[in-house]
Structure 1
Amino acid sequence: MDGYLSMKNVFDPLLHWGRYGEIINEMGTKLIGFAPHIAPKAYINVIYAPLKDAGIVELENRLERGLPVQYKKFLTCSNGLMIFSGSMRVFGLVPLSRTADIHIYNYPSNVIVPNESARIKGIIDSDFVVGYYAEDGSYAVIDGNGGVFRILPQSNDIDREKWASFNDWLSSEILRLDKSYTENNAAHFN
């Protein structure tokens, strides 16, 4: 994967699930950790193919704003994630001109939706929504200083969890979710 080495410490905990099987689909999406106990074609972790420069330009044009620096760098390594059976998603671009159907493994959850058409109440203009947690419906948001906070839309509670940067957030949450997923699903992978 292009740019993988720059995010190696972030992706490594996802990759060890490859011992249960992995493939790269026709879109370049890496599917890691075959999980037939969930569904016949299910995978635990999904790393979407990196965005090319044209994709980043399209995203910035559609949003009518620049992207946070660390998130923009992340997109050059992966156009989003869906990890630990959908426990957490990092949003990416769903391009206007698609080359495949909108299958869950072809395109990520769309970053434009929570930043434009379904903007979360309680966040300010400089905030940028980058992720979603299935466990409680909360979102990960990059603030104007590059830090990340988690917000539950119903409560506007942003003091719950904060990280210094996008990379700190992503790497620590992957480690936390990897540990939790391993503990809660060990019986399926023996």
Structure 2
Amino acid sequence: MNLAELLADQGWAVAKESASASLYNHTPWVAPEAYLHWLFKPVTPRALEETRTLLAIRDEWLDFLFIQNGAMLYSDSLSIFGAVESGTLLNRNSPHDLGPYSLLDQKRKSAGFGDDAIIICTYPYDGSQVVLRNNDGAVIVFSKIGSTYKTGRAWNSATRWITEELGRLKTLFDSSQNPGRQVEHFAEFCELVSKELKHASSRFR
């Protein structure tokens, strides 16, 4: 699964390359240095092997990380974790040189969603967690309700989840065709994302 191809199909274009990521569509109305999408560059072999060993994660998700090591999509409405080697320090030279959030940091939190589950992504606005089940490859969103989580929407594969979610998020942007132009208020956009997740069916798509 190649996120760069999916984003290109939606009409988004790379505006800047940093040491760690390809940045799509400058969005200065969100913040002066903000970009619509951050697509992190492929994982290093060492970090990938460590992630494989410590998480026993499915091969298809490791293949995904080999192509792109996580992402922050639609102004970080969807934040996909990457394989980050233990002990890696933040690169503070530039805000655009930061790496992805770490899959390994999610290992302890994932235990609450099942022995074979790993958190691969979050919706930062409301704290919903996206879990990959290693036994069958299903992806499930757990919506955060107060201090607990409620089972939400589910897909039978990571490919279907990402493809459908990118399509859904794209519809929440206005139809002006201005690259990266969002609905008038960013908070309104985030509220729409959160509301749709909380009211979605939990059955497999």
Given candidates 125, 138, 150, the residue that maps to 1:147 is: 138
Q: Check whether the contact 1:48–1:106 (CA below 8 A) recurs between aligned residues.
A: no
- Count of aligned positions: 175
Given candidates 71, 78, 83, the residue that maps to 1:93 is: 83
Unaligned residue ranges in structure 2 (runs of 5+)? 176-180, 186-205
Given candidates 126, 145, 157, the residue that maps to 1:165 is: 157
1:155 Cα deviation after fit:
3.6
% identical aligned pairs: 21
Q: Check whether the contact 2:81–2:120 (CA below 8 A) recurs between aligned residues.
A: yes
1:70 aligned onto 2:57:
no
Determine helix, strand or coil for the equivalent of 2:24.
strand
1:136 Cα deviation after fit:
2.2
**2:44 alignment counterpart:** 52
**1:176 alignment counterpart:** 168
1:97 Cα deviation after fit:
3.9
Determine helix, strand or coil for the equivalent of 1:12.
helix
**1:134 alignment counterpart:** 124
Q: Distance in 1 between matches of 2:184 and 2:69?
A: 31
Root-mean-square deviation (CA, aligned residues, Å) is 2.6
Q: Check whether the contact 2:48–2:62 (CA below 8 A) recurs between aligned residues.
A: yes
Q: Distance in 1 between matches of 2:36 and 2:159?
A: 21
Q: Check whether the contact 2:55–2:104 (CA below 8 A) recurs between aligned residues.
A: no
Q: Which has the higher strand share?
A: 2
User: What whole-Å deviation, never above 9, does each CA across 1:30-60 have from its counterpart, x for those lacking one?
Assistant: 0001011111111010000011322201223
**1:41 alignment counterpart:** 33
**1:123 alignment counterpart:** 113
1:8 Cα deviation after fit:
5.7
Distance 1:120 1:52, change over 3 A: closer
Give the TM-score taking structure 2 as reference length.
0.74
Distance 1:73 1:48, change over 3 A: same
Determine helix, strand or coil for the equivalent of 2:61.
helix
Determine helix, strand or coil for the equivalent of 1:157.
strand
**1:79 alignment counterpart:** 69
User: What whole-Å deviation, never above 9, does each CA across 1:94-126 have from its counterpart, x for those lacking one?
Assistant: 33345833846520112122223xx15741110
Q: Check whether the contact 1:30–1:47 (CA below 8 A) recurs between aligned residues.
A: yes
95-104 vs 43-52, which moves further: 95-104
Q: Check whether the contact 1:146–1:164 (CA below 8 A) recurs between aligned residues.
A: yes
Q: Check whether the contact 1:13–1:178 (CA below 8 A) recurs between aligned residues.
A: no
